[in-house]
Every structure is written in C-alpha cells, then in structure tokens.
C-alpha cells in the first residue's frame, strides 16, 4: 500500500471514520510531513477536514496552545501527529469528554507506517488487552521483579484503561498504533528499586540500564547519565510522582526508541512518572515520561501474570 493508503486504513479501521464526520489533524514543526499524509487521506474520506500546525512541544504531556485545545472540542475525529505526546493532557481529556474520538501518534515515522506495531492483528491486540485489564481491575497490588530489583505499588480502587488502537464510540481515545493495558497506581504507594533496561521516552533505547529508587510514590534517585536526563525531564516537583503501570499487548511492536511503539511491545511492561489525571489519577504535572522494562516478572496480588 502507499503511505496515503495506510493513512486511510488508520482512519477507517482504527478510527471508524464516517464521511459525515469532521476530522482535525494536529501537528508540529517536526511531524508535519507525516501529518500531511493523514490530511490527504482525510480529505478523500471526510466532508470536512482541516490540519493545524503548532510549535513543537518541549516534552510529552505539555499542553497544546489554547486555540488548538479549543478547536479540539469541535471535531468528531482528531489525530495528533506530533513529536511529543498529547495523550496525557487536559486538552485531550476535555476533547474526549465532548465526544471526540482522539488518536495520538507521538513521534510517528514513515517507517512506523509501513512496519511493526501498525501491522498487528488488532483482534489479537484487543483480546490480550482485555485479558490484562481484567486482571488489573481485579487486583489491588502490583509487584515487578527484574533481576535483583523489586518495585511494589497499590492499584486498589483504580480502573484500568484498554488501549487497543481501535476507537468506535464517542469519547474514546488512545495511541495509534497501540496495544497496552494500563492503570494509574495510588500516587504515594510505590516503594522499591527497579531496573529500566528497555527505553525511556524523550531519551530512546538505553545503552545501559537505569536503576530507579522510588519512595512513597516519588522517584528519589536514578543512576547514570540517562538517569540524570530522566530526572531533568521530570523536574523537581510533581513530575517525579509515579503515574502509570502498563503492560504491552502488541506482538508486532518493536523496541525502536520511539515510545509510541516501545511501550506496546509484548513481553514488556512500563512505569511512568508525572501526569495521570487524564486517566484516573490525581497528578497534573505538565510532563509524562514512560520507562520500559524488558521481560520482567510481574505479580498482581498473588497471581503471576
């Protein structure tokens, strides 16, 4: 397929776009060439399609300009084809609350439109995602073990999110491509140390592991040069609060250094720090950074998953 045909497939298969619906493409200085593919596709599939370009955000979770957040509330279908993620922003949350179906594609590349996660069997992705979400919804405590490191936290009373990459109902949102089951841990409940050996958003695939130390839900130390980069990205405030635990459910996803695909890899889990108010937590920090762990052992209560 041509790349415009791939974009059409995303609009039709993942976002179930109807001709009568309006489409808004949001992009920035870094990703406008990829975004234009979706604009060309949406013009052919929808009676009303527009594209808007904003200055590139500095990090994932940073809000878009007010004009764009206002515009988001008026569209039926929104694609955020941007360098950094708008997934965990108030703008995205408010658009969803008004009924918009929102697909976020942070860091998407031309290669990702041809290979990897986007080519998955999305029936399989939906089944796996549902399986892990049911386990998260039944559970109260998570324990992650990697080598000799262990991190525990509570998820009691929190609801999981099914990020399947398929959006049919008003207000549904998530990444495209996708494939993860995730949840907001109780913010002050995480304790322990954990090895991050996969990738970190805004940093990329790691050339050496980072050891994170978490106390009462707050990241208090991170080893090595990449650990220092992580701490700088998160800042000294609420950005260091644990925000997310996720399980990858896409068997076609690859570890590439692009968090959009990295966190979906089957056999990995990820924890994130920063904002989680948009999916059931309490923190609004203006930043959200994911940290991917390869092949860990995970328990939900006493069940090894």
C-alpha count within 13 angstroms, C-beta hemisphere, residue 277: 16
Distance CA 293, CA 295 (A): 7
pLDDT at 53 over 90: yes
Distance CA 280, CA 284 (A): 11
- What is the pLDDT of the chain when averaged over all its residues? 96
Give the pLDDT confidence of 146-160 residue by residue, as tens digits. 999 999 999 999 999
- Those residues with Cβ within 8 angstroms of residue 154's Cβ, 6 or more apart along the chain or in another chain: 140, 141, 142, 185, 186, 189
Q: Where in the chain is the domain with CATH 3.40.640.10?
A: 3-114
Q: What is the mean pLDDT of residues 47-59?
A: 96
* pLDDT at residue 264, as a whole number: 96
Long-range contacts of 48-51 (CB under 8 A, 24+ apart): 48/21, 48/22, 48/23, 49/22, 49/23, 49/24, 49/25, 50/23, 50/24, 50/25, 51/24, 51/25, 51/26, 51/27
Distance CA 298, CA 129 (A): 16
Sign, CA dihedral 260-36-99-166, equals negative
Give the pLDDT confidence of 215-252 residue by residue, as tens digits. 999 999 999 999 999 999 999 999 999 999 999 999 99
pLDDT at 1 over 80: no
pLDDT at 122 over 90: no
Give the pLDDT confidence of 58-75 residue by residue, as tens digits. 988 999 999 999 999 999
For the beta carbon of residue 239, count every other beta carbon within 10 angstroms. 22
- What CATH fold (topology level) applies to the domain 3-114? 3.40.640
Give the pLDDT confidence of 73-93 residue by residue, as tens digits. 999 999 999 999 999 899 999
Distance CA 81, CA 7 (A): 12
What ranges in the chain are assigned the alpha helix state H?
3-9, 32-45, 66-72, 90-97, 110-114, 122-138, 224-234, 259-262
Distance CA 92, CA 121 (A): 26
* pLDDT at residue 119, as a whole number: 86
């Amino acid at each position: 397929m041509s790349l415009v045909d791939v974009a059409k497939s995303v609009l039709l298969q993942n976002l179930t776009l109807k001709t009568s619906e309006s489409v808004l493409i949001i992009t920035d200085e870094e990703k406008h060439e990829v975004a234009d593919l979706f604009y060309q596709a949406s013009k052919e599939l929808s009676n009303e399609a527009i594209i808007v370009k904003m200055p590139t955000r500095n990090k994932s979770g940073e809000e878009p300009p007010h004009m764009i957040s206002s515009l988001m509330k008026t569209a039926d279908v929104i694609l955020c084809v941007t360098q950094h993620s708008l997934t965990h922003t108030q703008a995205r949350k408010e658009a969803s609350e008004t009924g918009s179906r929102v697909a976020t594609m942070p860091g998407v590349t031309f290669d990702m439109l041809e290979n990897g996660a986007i080519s998955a069997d999305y029936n399989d992705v939906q089944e796996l995602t549902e399986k892990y979400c049911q386990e998260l919804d039944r559970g109260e405590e998570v324990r992650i073990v990697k080598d000799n490191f262990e991190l525990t936290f509570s998820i009691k009373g929190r609801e999981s999110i099914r990020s399947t990459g398929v959006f049919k109902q008003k207000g549904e949102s998530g990444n495209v491509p996708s494939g993860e089951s995730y949840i907001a841990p109780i913010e002050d409940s995480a304790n322990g140390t954990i090895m991050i050996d996969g990738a970190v958003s805004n940093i990329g695939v790691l050339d050496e592991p980072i050891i994170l130390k978490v106390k009462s839900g707050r990241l208090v130390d991170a080893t090595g040069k990449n650990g220092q980069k992580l701490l700088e990205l998160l800042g000294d405030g609420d950005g260091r609060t644990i925000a997310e635990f996720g399980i990858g459910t896409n068997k076609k996803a690859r570890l590439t250094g692009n968090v959009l695909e990295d966190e979906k890899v089957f056999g990995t889990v990820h924890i994130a720090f920063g904002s989680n108010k948009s999916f059931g937590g309490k923190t609004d920090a203006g930043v959200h950074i994911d940290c991917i762990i390869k092949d860990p052992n995970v328990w939900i209560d006493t069940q090894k998953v």
